[in-house]
Chains A and B, each alone.
Chain A
Amino acid sequence: MRRRANPAWLFVAPALAAIALFLFVPVFASLLLSFTDFDIYAVAALRNLRFVGFANYQTLLAEPLFWQALRNTLYFVAVGGPLSVAASLAAALLVNARLARCRPLFRTAFFLPVVTTLVAIAVVWRYLYHPRIGLINQLLAGFGVAPIDWLGDPHWAMPAILLMSIWKNFGFNMIIFVAGLQAIPERLYEAASLDGAGPWRQFRYVTLPMLAPTALFVAVMTMIGGFQLFAEPYVMTQGGPSNHTLSVVLLMFQEGFRYWNMGYAAAIAFVLFAILLAGTALQLKLRPLGGGPT
């Protein structure tokens, strides 16, 4: 029998064409761009465009500012990622607990920051963080803590951004965890309790393993989101003080869209892409054993 092309191709062809045209072509173009010194002079006349090979990548790797941005971003991912996942898991357990009252209310309340505009949130949080009149410092003063210049002190700015970012985003992962929790069959808990498992052991030996695929998904998405940190420092600090909240994407934005060094910015984008690819591969490798179906 003659093999016939799967008719499914016909149905997905428009979508594939759109993806190819609007995703792969631009990505390939920017890869080419990263090997040139495309800048404002090249916009003026293409003869000012020079092919520079790996010079952009060499400059980038020799540039202290890039390493600082990378350090800041890694800090955000390494500290903020686990905290954010833990916060959303805790919130999910709370709003999913059978004993909790007004569950829809809390679910909505925890999810509200996710759908609120970041700029509006940032304005409010700037006041919360204000060293003199900010609510946070006034609360801390109650415990005898000296005022902290949250957004003005290089050592506190990133933690401040982190805290706000976790508060804004944990609701989204919480919803995913709630979905994961509700997919765990009740009979497993019943069996566990018959075997004499208390709440902690039920959590440890039933909830956690069954949540593993969800947790992996959440962890990967949180990591990718963390590496793409941009809007929070852009709105709150513009990368300051002393570049301590400058993220890789913010650096890329500044180079590309403020200063029009498109070649250099494209090189930053591809370095970030490589890091993300490696990070995701690593997490998939470390996938907890004994998890449910993925």
Chain B
Amino acid sequence: MSLRAPFANCVRWLVVLAALATACAPREDGATVQFWALGHEGDAVARLIPDFERSHPGVSVRVQQIPWSAAHEKLLTAFVGDSMPDVFQLGTTWIPEFQALGALEALDSYVARSATVAPGEYFAGVWDANAIDGALVALPWYVDTRLLFYRSDLLAAAGVATPPRTWAEWSAALERVKRSVGPDRHAIFVPLSEWEVPVVLALSQDAELLRDGDRYGNFESEAFRTAFAFYLDLFERGYAARAGAGATASVYRDFAEGWFCFYLSGPWNLGEFATRLPPALADAWTTAPLPGPDARRPGVSLAGGASLAIAAHSARKEAAWQLVEWLADPARQVEFYRASGDLPPRRSAWQDPRLANDARAQAFRAQLEHVRALPKVPEWERIAAKISRSAEAVVRGEMAPAAALAALDADVDAILAKRRSLLAGASRDAE
């Protein structure tokens, strides 16, 4: 043993050096897959890549980490400059835009041939968000949705034993919390700059946000108006503060100090709350699926997250697919979850004990069965900004609700004007 140890060390070093050499020098044979991963996911996935290269000897991967804030711009510029990577991470709401550009390879035939990627295994809403006009253009990598984070101690102190399951129960709980915390504090934190809150309430009401094949805004619909009224009530009854984002220098601090009890947020806050809240509060908060409008209908949230896509102009699509397929494997998704905290989109990955025994994550598991894709149009981000602006205008008393929704429809119709004319042109060409 004592004799062989240095020898083994030598071999190990040689392997490391060889790996470095292959990592640094792109191979001439064209089997180096360029992979752009974003932010902290890039960090996490880079650590999995050596395993992939070991099990796929012909393929090497170069991971490039791109900060989230610059990613959208970089991908667009890369598309214009015809220097797209072979595989790239794509935020769910960007998919329609890159599909409109023709930048994405359709993955249906790859999935059909695959032995490991089983569409039925994915949460349906998440899968749907990656399919545009019936073609799958990206493969879900991890998921994001919104649900209730709340201070269980404050809720119990207000005399509410179980988290609300319907809007009526939710209102009652908000009322009791508000009464128990007093006039200075609030029952729920709703940042006026976030469109997500009115949108998930509308999704729960089964509202179609856009109509006629996503050609016009549909915000004066019965369903949206009902959801909007509930949203406005949160402020009207004093459950939520009418202040903007400026009122909260730090959500974590305010949550820890009990300035609000409920907060609608996403999976990244599982990790953030766990590390940023003081240890004394470690068991004082948890999560619950969104309450439904009534006992028959569950709360529906949005299907977000990030997917992996293959560039339509890639010269190494087969190798690229091998990487995407390997990363989609449930075992890999569990590893990825452990490295990054990002929740997996496949049900079987949720059997991992770390996820199965985590009550807070399990609320997400339940919510993910009830998620819906946002309208799949490239203009969505602009529309979303208009939604939050309209909501803010009403909450601040600048506009009446009906007038604000009418104006919102008019604005969204104007935003979609070019889409309508292009669709009309395309159908004329087809005739």
Which residues of A are at the interface with B, using a C-beta cutoff of 8 A?
A: 37, 39-41, 43-45, 48, 126-127, 129-131, 133-134, 149-154, 157, 237-238, 240-243, 254, 257-260
Contact with A along B184-200 (1 / 0, CB 8 A): 00000000110000000
In the assembled complex, B76 has its CB within 8 A of some CB on chain A: yes
The reply to whether B247 and A152 contact each other, CB–CB distance below 8 Å, is: yes
**With the chains together, A152 CA to B305 CA distance in Å?**
29
B298 touches A (CB below 8 Å): no
Number of contact residues on B: which range applies? Answer: 20 to 34
Question: Which listed residue (B246, B378, B379) contacts A152, Cβ 8 A?
Answer: B246
Residue B244 lies at the interface, judged by CB distance under 8 Å to chain A: yes
Binds A, one of B221-229, B276-284, B365-373, B389-397: B389-397
Closest to B72 in A: A258
Chain A residues in 8 Å Cβ range of B249:
126-127, 130, 133-134
Q: Is the CB of B97 within 8 A of A126?
A: no
Min CB distance B283 to A, Å, is: 26
Smallest beta-carbon distance B350→chain A, Å: 35
CB atoms of A149 and B247 under 8 A apart: yes
Q: Out of B100, B243, B393, which one reaches A131, CB within 8 Å?
A: B243
When distances are taken between beta carbons in the complex, the residues of chain B under 8 Å from A129 are 246
Tell me, in angstroms, the Cα distance from A240 to B195 when the chains sit together: 14
B102 contact set on A, CB distance < 8 A: 44-45
Give chain B residues whose Cβ lies under 8 Å from the Cβ of A259. Answer: 379, 381-382
Tell me whether B244 and A43 are in contact (CB under 8 A).
no
Cβ contact within 8 Å between B398 and A43: no
Interface SS of chain B: helix, strand, loop or mixed? helix
For residue A130, which residues in chain B have a CB less than 8 angstroms away from its CB? 246-247, 249
Question: Are A48 and B422 neighbours in the complex by a CB distance under 8 Å?
Answer: yes
Minimal Cβ-Cβ distance residue in A for B241: A152
| Complex Cα–Cα for A127 and B102 (A) | 45
Residues of A near B247 (CB, < 8 A) are: 130-131, 149, 151-152
Contacts of B381 in A (CB 8 A): 258-259
Pick the contact of A43: B76, B192, B246, B418 (CB < 8 A).
Answer: B76
Instruction: Determine the distance from Cα of A237 to Cα of B193 in the docked complex, in whole angstroms.
Output: 10
Q: Say yes or no for B431: interface residue by CB 8 A criterion.
A: no
Measured CB to CB, the closest approach of chain A to B207, in angstroms, equals 23
B378 to chain A, nearest CB (A): 5
B8 at interface, CB cutoff 8 A: no
**Which residue of A40, A240, A258 contacts B392 across the interface (Cβ within 8 Å)?**
A240
Cβ-defined partner of B244 (8 Å) among A44, A151, A254, A257: A151
Per the bound structure, the CA–CA distance linking A150 and B80 in Å amounts to: 42
With the chains together, A157 CA to B76 CA distance in Å? 34
A130, B79: Cα distance in complex, Å? 42
Determine if B245 is an interface residue (Cβ-Cβ < 8 Å): yes
Q: Are B389 and A152 in contact (CB under 8 A)?
A: no
Assuming A39-B418, A242-B398, is B245 touching A149 (CB within 8 A)?
A: no
Query: A152 and B245: CB pair below 8 A?
Result: yes
CB neighbors of A among B57-75 (8 A): 73
Residues of B within 8 A of A41 (CB): 100, 378, 418-419, 422
**Which chain A residues lie closer than 8 Å to B396 at the CB level?**
154, 241-242
Question: What are 24 contact pairs spanning A and B, CB under 8 A?
Answer: A40-B378, A41-B378, A41-B419, A43-B76, A44-B102, A127-B249, A130-B246, A130-B247, A131-B246, A131-B247, A133-B249, A149-B243, A149-B244, A149-B247, A151-B244, A151-B247, A152-B244, A157-B246, A238-B193, A240-B193, A240-B392, A241-B192, A243-B389, A254-B385
Distance in angstroms from B259 CB to nearest chain A CB is 8
Chain B residue nearest to A133 in the complex (CB): B249
Within 8 A of A (CB), among B397-411: 398
For A254, the chain B residues whose CB sits under 8 A away are 385
Verify B418–A237 contact, CB threshold 8 A.
Answer: no
The A-contacting residues of B in range 96-119, CB under 8 angstroms, are: 97, 100-102
Nearest opposing residue in chain B for A131, CB measure: B247
**Contacts A39-B418, A131-B246, A241-B246 given; 11 further ones with Cβ under 8 A?**
A40-B100, A40-B101, A41-B378, A41-B418, A127-B249, A129-B246, A149-B247, A153-B246, A157-B246, A240-B192, A241-B244
Q: How far does the alpha carbon of A220 sit from the alpha carbon of B79 in the complex, in Å?
A: 40
Report which of A151, A257, A258 forms a contact with B246, defined as CB distance below 8 A. A151
Query: Which residues on the A side are within 8 Å of B73 (C-beta)?
Result: 257
User: In the complex, how many angstroms separate the beta carbon of A282 from the nearest chain B beta carbon?
Assistant: 34
How far apart are the CA atoms of A129 and B247 in the complex, in Å?
9
> CA separation between A126 and B246, bound complex, in Å?
7
Alpha-carbon distance between A125 and B279 when the two chains are bound, in angstroms: 28
With a cutoff of 8 Å between Cβ atoms, the chain B residues found around residue A126 in the complex are 246, 249
Contact A40 B245 (CB under 8 A): no
User: Least Cβ distance of A28 to chain B in Å?
Assistant: 20
Chain B minimum-CB-distance residue to A47: B425
B392 contacts A241, CB within 8 Å?
yes
- A37 interface neighbour in B101, B243, B418, Cβ under 8 Å: B418
Given the contacts A43-B80, A238-B193, A150 and B246 also touching, CB distance less than 8 Å? yes
**Complex Cα spacing A27 to B427, Å:** 37
Which of chain B's residues has its CB closest to A259's CB?
Answer: B382
| CB contact between A242 and one of B76, B80, B378, B392 (< 8 Å): that residue | B392
- Smallest CB-CB A-B distances: 9 pairs: A151-B246, A152-B246, A152-B243, A152-B244, A241-B244, A44-B101, A152-B247, A130-B249, A259-B382
Chain B residues within an 8 Å CB radius of A48: 422
Q: Roughly how many angstroms separate A157 CA and B245 CA in the complex, as a whole number?
A: 11
Docked complex Cα distance between A131 and B259 (Å): 13
Residue in B246, B249, B422 with the greatest tally of chain A CB atoms within 10 Å: B246
> Which residues of chain B are within 8 angstroms of A43 by Cβ–Cβ distance?
76, 79-80, 101
Tell me whether A237 and B246 are in contact (CB under 8 A).
yes
Q: How far is the CA of A157 from the CA of B398 in the complex (A)?
A: 16
> Bound complex: CA of A39 vs CA of B381, how far in Å?
14
Bound together, the chains give a CA A129 to CA B79 distance in angstroms of 42
Are A149 and B382 neighbours in the complex by a CB distance under 8 Å? no
Q: In the complex the two chains form, what is the Cα distance from A238 to B392 in whole Å?
A: 14
> CA separation between A187 and B89, bound complex, in Å?
70
The minimal Cβ–Cβ distance linking A51 to chain B, given in whole angstroms, is 14
User: In whole angstroms, what is the CA distance A127 to B250 when docked?
Assistant: 9
